[in-house]
């Protein structure tokens, strides 16, 4: 719940697709996660005059042929971008990218880029709709190391890849650029359309009878379109600054490290023991809702000095910092899910 010396915080009027509004009652009422807004204010003030990481698109890691069909490839990447963690003390799935090994999202992007550059038509909705298990397994194969496991939730990723092709064919003439046209080049509307049309992006939960919206990967797709295509007409989306934080497992971990979030002792013990937290449980919903509102509070404070700051920029900074482990970190929460 909020630990606040500020006036009661209300969801903003520009919350055009309901993520902030729907998660607000969770952070107001949950006893499981506490959001320390005074600490958030201190962190925000310390960041105002320090450099921000540049949110640029890694053209080495990501495939692009500078045409609209690359949007199909990008939608596929974001459809498969989830659940990369491994069990305690077990190796993570990873692939070779050039001379180095990469894991997590970078491994996914590298594997799908390598396939596209080898003319496997991951931009083609017909191919994706009927992609074989053998083909996708070969694309995501963890290279020549027998100790590296297969990517987690492979069957779900296969289903998601086929869904991308099927929905694009059924509703958007096989081209993701028509999604952007339907959204009228609005980032928030694009995220909502993706969540509504593609079941694997429909990231919601039930909290005490109310529907909670997260739309993590749908929002990532909208943000990726802006970052990946700054000079293309389909990349010039309006309202990108209304996207929220992308509620995953690494961002809440860094928010706890910074003292912005804290967990009830029982929940913290669960994380320290690497115990699974079920998808849709009160614990998972509380952590994700706390993440979204912690970033929103940071945004509001930073916006007093940097009016154009967005939640996605703050999320990007937090995610970058989370990649450097610290001795006082507790493990991130472990939930088996296709949504993050």
Active site residues: 248
DSSP letter string over 213-252? E--HHHHHHHHHHHHH-TTSGGG--BTGGG------SHHH
159 with 129: CB under 8 angstroms? no
Quote the longest CA-to-CA distance of the chain.
57
34 Cβ partners below 8 Å, 6+ apart? 1, 2, 3, 261, 262, 263, 264
CB atoms within 10 A of CB 102: 17
29 with 1: CB under 8 angstroms? yes
58 with 194: CB under 8 angstroms? no
Give the dihedral sign, CA 32/336/142/217. Answer: negative
User: Which residues are registered as beta bridge partners of 234?
Assistant: none
Task: Tell me what percent of the chain is helix, strand and coil, each rounded to the nearest 5.
Answer: 50, 10, 45
Give how far the C-alpha of residue 69 lies from the chain's centroid of Cα atoms, to the nearest Å: 22
Instruction: Say if residue 119 is exposed, middle or buried (CB neighbours under 10 Å; 0-12, 13-18, 19+).
Output: exposed
């Amino acid at each position: 719940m909020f630990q606040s010396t500020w006036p009661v915080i209300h969801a903003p009027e520009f919350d055009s697709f309901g993520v902030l509004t729907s998660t607000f009652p969770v952070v107001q009422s949950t006893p499981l996660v506490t959001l320390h807004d005074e600490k958030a204010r201190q962190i925000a003030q310390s960041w105002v005059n320090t450099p921000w990481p540049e949110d640029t698109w890694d053209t080495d890691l990501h495939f692009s042929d500078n045409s609209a069909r690359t949007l199909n490839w990008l939608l596929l990447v974001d459809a498969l971008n989830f659940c990369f963690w491994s069990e305690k003390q077990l190796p993570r799935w990873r692939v070779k990218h050039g001379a180095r090994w990469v894991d997590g999202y970078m491994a996914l992007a590298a594997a799908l880029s390598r396939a596209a550059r080898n003319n496997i038509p991951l931009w083609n909705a017909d191919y994706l709709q009927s992609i074989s298990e053998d083909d996708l397994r070969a694309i995501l194969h963890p290279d020549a190391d027998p100790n590296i496991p297969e990517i987690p939730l492979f069957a779900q990723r296969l289903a998601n890849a086929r869904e991308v092709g099927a929905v694009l064919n059924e509703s958007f003439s096989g081209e993701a650029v028509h999604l952007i046209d339907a959204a009228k080049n609005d980032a928030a509307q694009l995220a909502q359309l993706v969540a509504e049309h593609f079941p694997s992006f429909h990231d919601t939960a039930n909290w005490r009878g109310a529907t909670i919206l997260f739309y993590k990967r749908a929002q990532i797709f909208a943000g990726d379109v802006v970052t990946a295509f700054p000079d293309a007409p389909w990349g010039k989306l309006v309202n990108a600054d209304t996207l929220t934080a992308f509620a995953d497992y690494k961002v809440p971990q860094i928010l706890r490290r910074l003292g912005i979030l804290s967990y009830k002792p029982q929940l913290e013990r669960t994380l320290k023991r690497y115990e699974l937290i079920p998808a849709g449980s009160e614990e998972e919903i509380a952590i994700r809702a706390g993440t979204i509102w912690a970033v929103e509070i940071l945004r509001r404070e930073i916006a007093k000095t940097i009016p154009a700051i967005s939640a996605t920029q703050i999320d990007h900074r937090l995610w970058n910092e989370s990649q450097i482990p610290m001795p006082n970190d507790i493990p991130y929460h472990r939930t088996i899910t296709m949504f993050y």
